[in-house]
Chain A
Amino acid sequence: MLRKNRAADIEKVLAKYPTKRSAVMPLLNLAQEEYGFCSPEAIREVAAICDLDPTEVKSVVGFYTMFYEEKVGTNVIDVCDDLPCALRGADGFVAHCERKLGIKAGETTPDGKITFHSVMCVAACNRAPVAQVNGAYHYDLTPESFDQMVDELQK
């Protein structure tokens, strides 16, 4: 699937490195774009492309937090609740997010639209509370702006 659908991207990734193994992480990102998470199938495909054993790829998936081993929602919202953000109200903000979404951090809304994570530092401590929505930064959030954002996503 991956090799069929993303052949050009795969070639581009492989061309970046002197070894195929180095392509594992970028290829997992491609796979995650394609499948929504690092599915067993995706892991085996990436292993085959990189001439690795699937166990080696699984290990990489398991080590890094941004590779998902379970299916996630259409949108992933990561809110930092590390110390600097917490000094700017991130703990209360995360509690609000959970209430708004009706799920706990680490869960996905029943409609499959949003997965919510509380995460460690995302290097934007000066503008907390901060969220990354599908990788894009959203700064200086308030309960109101968060609710608005979520309503948009759930439309």
Chain B
Amino acid sequence: MTGMEKHLLLRDLDVPNIRELDVYMANDGYAAWKKAVTSMKGEEVLAAVKDSGLRGRGGAGFPAGLKWSFIPKDVFPKYVVVNGDESEPGTFKDHQLVRNNPHQVIEGTALCAYAIGSNLAYIYLRGEFSEPGKELEKALADAYANGLLGSNLMGTGYSLDIRVHYGAGAYICGEESALLESLEGRIGQPRLKPPFPATNGLYNKPTVINNVETLANVPWIILNGAAWYRQFGTEKSSGVKLFSVSGHVKNPGNYELPLGKHSIQELLDMAGGSSSGRPIKAVLPAGSSSPIIPAANFGAKLDYESMAGIGSVLGSCSFIFMDDSVDMVWAARKMIRFFKHESCGKCTPCREGTYWALKIYDKILSGEGTLADVDMIAEVNKQIIGKCFCPVGEFATSSMTFTLKHFKQDYIDFIEKKKGGTPEYRAELARDTHGHHAQAAH
């Protein structure tokens, strides 16, 4: 189904119980780690990752090796922070890695630390991951017990500690500087940049922050070399990538594919096609924060460049497919509700804009909207775009910008055909007004 013989990341699908240390080790586990610590210099590990063309899998797609190379050599201590705050609606790939293939995450983290000369790494998991986190913590304990982590590793004098830190429910902590604030015991509001984490990160020290999935690729790169890794994917988008597929498909789940080889349509087909039998209307390729793609563009290949070519992004690769029963006004409202709830409140346009926009969507859903309200959504949206402190506020605008761009008729129909005010919508609105969401965090 994946188009590949064996999974590089979702190895739990090929090797039962690979979450166990002995199973992992019997399947090349920690071979890269041992190779690096006993026979490679940190710079060599870094060079291999650079040569592999591995790009960050958290969403921004920044070249991982380049990011690591920004770490100053002469400043100590330095840190590795693994971003496992996976919170983008539609994204559940890191969940599977942490739960079912935790040693590979640990090994990748360790290699990153070794490459930059760090002796302490934190894996930041979202608070909701206490259950999968237990698997990771057990794996860490086993790695320590077997001399894979700790002090004076393999007699080389190199020491490394990896610790798990849990968030407590905040989407914004997926933004790297907010994550650092959170790890330092503060509210998760993003930091001013510059300075960047590479020089002033955790505890104001040089810090590499990478996504869980990004680092899970690294053991293969070190074990088999950059050239081997480059056989997967394309020139600019090398390697394999996890695609979280959800929504109206028969077989939702994580799919591991080489970048650039398959199209959106093929991904949809792999997932069994529409679950309802109705035609698929559109997909959000990177959760709520991404520009929606109408089915007409499903021919686009799954790589960073091709997705940009159709006015969208590859991002975190969380493909939410929606069939033609979905009203984009309702879908957009769901997304705005999310961002209003998750806005950290730091900057004016995100804080006020999402609040205002949701008010208008609510009005439309309750059946009291007019066409002027649709225009007003566009106006408020325009007021937010390009003015926010961090990307989250900008993400919030995607749902408005692109549902209006591709599905304006849904909005017009919603008003003109008086689709609002149904008992279902009223119940949904009432729940959001009186329930947990309305009170934001309390």
Taking Cβ atoms with an 8 Å cutoff, the residues of A that contact B are: 16, 18-19, 21-26, 28-29, 50, 52, 59-60, 62-67, 69-70, 78, 81-84, 86-88, 91-92, 94-95, 98, 104-106, 117-128, 132, 135-137
Contact = CB atoms under 8 A, between A and B. Distances in A.
Give the secondary structure class of A's interface: mixed
A88 B288 CA distance: 16
A71 to B, nearest CB: 12
23 contacts: A21-B186, A26-B165, A26-B166, A28-B168, A63-B187, A63-B188, A63-B344, A66-B127, A66-B168, A84-B90, A84-B247, A87-B320, A88-B252, A91-B424, A106-B434, A119-B436, A120-B338, A124-B95, A126-B92, A128-B246, A135-B128, A135-B130, A136-B131
A120 B92 CA distance: 13
B188 A123 contact: no
Nearest to A16: B163
B128 A66 contact: yes
B437 A118 contact: yes
Give the secondary structure class of B's interface: mixed
Interface string B20-59: 0000000000000000000000000000000000000000
A127 B254 CA distance: 11
Given A83-B335, A94-B431, A64 B127 contact: yes
B92 A65 contact: no
B334 A82 contact: yes
A88 B436 CA distance: 21
B171 interface: yes
Interface string B419-442: 000001001100100111111111
B182 A25 contact: yes
Interface in B392-442: 424, 427-428, 431, 434-442
Residue in A65, A94, A128, A135 with the greatest tally of chain B CB atoms within 10 Å: A65
Contacts of A29: 166, 168
Nearest to B172: A63
Given A82-B89, A118-B431, A120-B341, A87 B247 contact: yes
Contacts of A136: 131
B49 to A, nearest CB: 26
Contacts of B334: 82-83, 86
B86 interface: yes
Contact of B253 (A92, A106, A126, A132): A126
Contact of A65 (B90, B187, B245, B441): B441
Given A66-B169, A95-B427, A19 B90 contact: no
A84 B171 contact: no
Contacts of A128: 246
A95 B424 CA distance: 9
Contacts of B163: 16
B244 interface: yes
Nearest to B345: A63
Contacts of B252: 88, 125-127
